[in-house]
Structure 1
Amino acid sequence: MLTKIDNTIKYGKQRDGFGIQILYPGLIQPELKDTGFSTIGRIDHARITPETLIPMHPHREDEIITYLRRGEVKHPDSEKHTDTISNRRVMVINAGANFYHEEKVLEHGGVLEGLEIFIRPETMGLIPQVQFHQLAETYSNNQWRKIVGKGDDYPLQINSNTRLMDLRLEKDTEIILPESPAENAAFLFYVFDGKININGTMSLVTGESVLVEIENPTFQATETSDIVLFITQTNAVHFDGGMYSCNLQ
């Protein structure tokens, strides 16, 4: 089954130099009465102007992935880390019981564009920590790249049965989904930038996505496109009371 999620389902927020489009993926299946989809609570697509400061603020009971394609951010936090996030450096916050951080968009990196992703952990009350990973290349051309998940083959680890992969699909190139990790797997294929045709019958543009269950479609780039892929299970154990990944219904 293929379920398209177009941009009309998103919530927009704009304040000063800070603008985000918020996707609650569960809204495409209202009968489930959950704004998230299994372990995927919320996806924020952000565009933020240089020198914008997001002051020190809390996070609780979420697994938070910061994935940038443009711009750079200076990050200090309550675990005494200071680092810079960029399109080559990914951050994961395992917020656990309590975590604070601040973000400032650096001027020399230009306008920031990226995703802040709120994943539901398996359980609450975990010890907070933060992780960083330096990507070998900015883009993974026409090949799925593992970034966040469980197991030694994922450089960043989360307390959730969720995986995140990405690729840059060049124009006129086709690809299929990676091998399903388990039964009841569901794939959320998110077009960060570009235009994708699916099986010759469905198209996606920047910011749109498709939820794939059971089927194994073919994706073709009608223009060079950056893709982020989320893999979860429909029956995955998860805590849905996190600060941002919570079920709002």
Structure 2
Amino acid sequence: MLSKIDNTIKYGKQHGGFGIQILYPGLTRPQRNDSGFSTIGRIDHARITPGTLIPMHPHKDDEILTYLRSGNVKHLDSEGYTDIISNRKLMMMNAGANFYHQEQVLEEGGTLEGLQIFIRPETAGLTPKVQFFKLHDTYSNNRWRQIAGKGSDYPLQIRSDTWLLDLRLEKGQDIVLPQAPSENCAFLFYLFDGKVSVNKTMALARGESVLIEDESPTFRAVETSDIVLFITRTNAVYFEEGMYSGNLHG
């Protein structure tokens, strides 16, 4: 099954220089009565002007990946970590039982654009921790790159059956899904930027996505496109009451 998720399903928020479009992927399947889809709770596509401060605020029972494509951010958190996040340096905040952080968008990096991704952990009350990973290259051209997931072959660890990959698909190039890391997997193909056709019958524009179950589609870049791929086990064990990843209907 292929389920297109267009931009009309997103929730928009704007406050000063801070703007986000929020995707709850489960809203495409209302019969499940879950705003998330298995372990994928929520995806925020953010655009934030330089100089914006997101003050210290809490998180609880969320696994949070900060994935930037432009902009530089100074990070500070309650675990004592501080660092600069960019399109070459990613951050995973495994919030666990109790966690606070603040983010300052730096002037020298220009406008921030990126994703803040909320994944559901297997259980509540885990020990909070923070991970950073520096990418070898800003983009992975025409080849899936492992970013975060469960297992030693993923540089950033997620504490549930969830895996994230990315690539830049150059204009005219085709790609298929990577091999699933486990049984009973579904895929969410998120088009960060560009234009892509799916099986030559479905068109995706910037910010749109497609949820894939029991299908093996072919994707073609109509123009050079940046893609983030989410993989989750449909029968995964997860905690659905996280502060941000939790079920809106719960």
What TM-score bracket applies, with the shorter chain setting the length?
Answer: over 0.9
Matched-pair identity in % = 72
The SS at the match of 2:122 is: coil
2:144 aligns with 144
Q: Residue 28 of structure 2 aligns to which amino acid in structure 1?
A: I
2:221 aligns with 221
Q: For 1:92-144, what per-residue CA distance to the aligned partner results, in whole angstroms no more than 9, with x for missing partners?
A: 00000000000000000000000000000000010000000000000000000
Matches within 5 A, 1:9-158: 9-158=9-158
1:168 aligns with 168
Q: Residue 144 of structure 1 aligns to which amino acid in structure 2?
A: W
Distance of 1:182 and 1:49 partners within structure 2: 39
Distance of 2:218 and 2:210 partners within structure 1: 12
Q: Residue 129 of structure 1 aligns to which amino acid in structure 2?
A: K
CA RMSD of aligned residues (A): 0.4
Deviation >3 Å, runs of 4+: none
Count of aligned residue pairs for this structure pair:
249
Structure 2 length normalisation: TM-score? 0.99
Distance of 2:163 and 2:118 partners within structure 1: 12
The SS at the match of 2:27 is: helix
Q: For 1:132-181, what per-residue CA distance to the aligned partner results, in whole angstroms no more than 9, with x for missing partners?
A: 00000000000000010011110000101100000000000000000012
Q: Residue 194 of structure 2 aligns to which amino acid in structure 1?
A: G
The SS at the match of 1:190 is: strand
Distance of 2:248 and 2:198 partners within structure 1: 31
2:188 aligns with 188
The SS at the match of 1:126 is: coil
Structure 1 length normalisation: TM-score? 0.99
1:212: Cα distance to partner? 0.5
1:244 aligns with 244
Distance of 1:38 and 1:228 partners within structure 2: 17
Q: Residue 114 of structure 2 aligns to which amino acid in structure 1?
A: G
